[in-house]
Structure 1
Amino acid sequence: MTRTTGLKILALDASTEALSVALIDTAADHDFEHFEIAPQQHARRLLPQAQELLGRAELTLADLDGFAFGRGPGAFTGLRIAAGLVQGLAGGAGKPVVPVSTLAALASRCQLDPAIDHVRVVQDARMGEVYTADFRRGPDGAPEPLGPERVICPEALDTEFETRDCVRAGNGWAVMATARGVDADTLTPVEHWPHALDIARLAEPVLARGEAGTAAEALPVYVRDDVARKPGGR
């Protein structure tokens, strides 16, 4: 992706077991990121990690041009934590927010390899289902979705897109292997987790075009809206 000059963006992701915070400063060409697998630690540790990155970059919230966050799909609690934190920070600083698809962020990380074009992302949605979407490299280098994000039973995901030039991403491929009755090693993903750094980079052009939303519009996208419904329902 072509980078935009002069933007400072703080990004958060809590959509999975991973805890990820990133700060990019395109004017200084500096990127900072904290990433770790930290289940159930997001509420306690996201804000301190964000403060740490701002300190390393010698920036304050007022210096930022905007915020970004992984808006889903993903873990309900984690999505609410990230959205709520961004709403508070952006609202207090009077800055815009860019919600970014966690599935697109995973595809983008794969496409850092210029040889990778097509990516199928599958994330474990629990309740016997997966979140999934297919992407190709768009004209601007960013992942371009080839259809809607879906939550489906693993058995319902066709294999037509999984050609030789397609790579797998996401933490749901072990679920797919079980559903297909194959060894998990045959469906090994290139990347397992979304990263806030990729979320920040995907937010750059949106922010540069003036298309970011307000803090109040920083809402999660669950894809599965009814957590209590029968698994596999449509």
Structure 2
Amino acid sequence: MSGSPVILGLEAATGVSSVALMHGGQVITRRHDHGRARTDALLSLADELLAEAGVRRSALDAVACGRGPGGFTGVRIGVGVAQGIAMGVGCPVVGLSTLQILAETARAAHPGRQAIAALLDARMGEVYAGCYRVDDAGWTTAVGAEWLADPDTWALPTGDWLGVGSGFARFPALAHRDGLVGCEAGMVPEMHCAMALAAARFAAGEILRPEALEPRYLRDRVAHQTPVGGDG
């Protein structure tokens, strides 16, 4: 395929839902921040973007989606809407971690920052956590696995880390952990910040059939895993 891909992106795993469209090398975006994700709101945002760009759904090359972790309902709705659109069009999907979308949002806001700790409030006294470093290509890459943890067990690999996400708002003491050089508890995952990453994954063939996209809840895995440590 010649030219840049046409990709619709959806992220709904937190209280803020965002939709983005990459078309002609440009990215436009919409967001819904009125509480819990809703299927009709996501579809409406997607249709607004497509209409603004003058793009038919049939022109989509792929649908990118944040697959969690995050709120159960939001993750399920985001994945379901992405699958529905992609199945209707007959295009593949690109699954992205919601924590990595948050890390990409932080990278975009702080271009010089090389290490980002993304924490989301997981309720039940726990956090979803992921650590990311910016690689030579400019993308965030995971340092170890994402995990679900008791905040008291959370520790950072060696380095100077920027902490972002609602986990820090829910547990303010985490902002004082060793290794953190800054914290933005109000930052949320914004899909438009991860569209270049989605396009790179698409170009590399890292795609799925819509029905193969699975939510990532983490809560069905063993909680209180040992956090990543050492030099990463």
- TM-score, length-scaled by structure 2: 0.87
8 Å Cα contact 2:6-2:22 kept in structure 1 = yes
Judge conservation of contact 2:16–2:37 (CA < 8 Å) in 1: no
Aligned residues: 220
1:206 corresponds to 2:197: no
In structure 1, what is the equivalent of residue 211 of structure 2?
A: 216
1:174 Cα shift? 2.4
8 Å Cα contact 1:86/1:218 also seen in 2: no
Contact in 2 for aligned 1:105/1:202 (Cα 8 Å): no
Amino acid at match of 1:98: V
Return the offset for 1:61: 1.0
CA distance in 2, matches of 1:29, 1:77: 32
What is the CA RMSD across the aligned residues, in angstroms?
2.3
TM-score by length of 1: 0.86
| Structure 1 pair 7–188 and aligned structure 2 pair: CA distance change class (3 A) | same
For the 8 Å contact 1:155–1:180, the answer to whether it is kept is no
Please give the alpha-carbon distance, in whole angstroms, between the structure 2 residues aligned to 1:212 and 1:139.
23
Q: Deviations over 1:94-120 (max 9, x none)?
A: 000001011111111222233110001
Report the AA paired with residue 20 of structure 1: S
Q: Would the aligned equivalents of 2:27 and 2:195 in 1 still touch at CA under 8 Å?
A: no
2:162 maps to what in 1? 167
Counterpart of 1:56?
52
Q: Does 1:115 align with 2:116?
A: no
Residues 209 and 233 (structure 1), Cα distance of their counterparts in 2 relative to 1, 3 Å cut: closer
What code does the residue aligned with 1:137 have? V
Q: Give, in whole Å, the separation in 2 of the partners of 1:29 and 1:181.
A: 40
Partner of 1:140: 137
State the distance in 2 between where 1:17 and 1:6 align: 31
2:190 aligned with 1:192, yes or no?
A: no
Distance in 2 (CA, whole Å) between partners of 1:68 and 1:160 is 30
TM-superposed CA distance for 1:138, in Å, is 1.2
- Name the SS for the 2:67 alignment partner: strand
Residues 171 and 193 of structure 1 are in contact (CA less than 8 Å); yes or no, is this contact kept in structure 2? yes
Give matches, 1:101-112, under 5 Å. 101-112=97-108
Task: State yes or no: 1:83 paired with 2:83.
Answer: no
Distance 2:36 2:204 in 1: 35
> Are 1:38 and 2:34 an aligned pair?
yes
Offset, 1:36: 3.4
- Separation in structure 1 between the aligned mates of residue 202 and residue 176 of structure 2, nearest angstrom: 44
2:185 and 2:199 mapped to 1: Cα distance? 24
Mean CA deviation greater in 37-46 or 10-19: 37-46
Judged with a 3 Å threshold, the aligned counterparts in structure 2 of structure 1 residues 108 and 233 are, in CA distance, closer, same or farther, namely closer
Gaps of 5+ in 2: 226-232
Query: What amino acid is the match of 2:60?
Result: L
Alpha-carbon distance, 1:59 to partner: 0.3
Residue by residue, what CA displacement relative to the aligned partner does 1:65-109 show, whole Å, maximum 9, x if unpaired?
100010111011111101111111101110000010111111112
1:8 maps onto 2:19 in alignment: no
Aligned residue for 1:126, secondary structure, equals coil
Percent identity among equivalent residues? Answer: 32
Partner-residue secondary structure (3-state), 1:212: coil
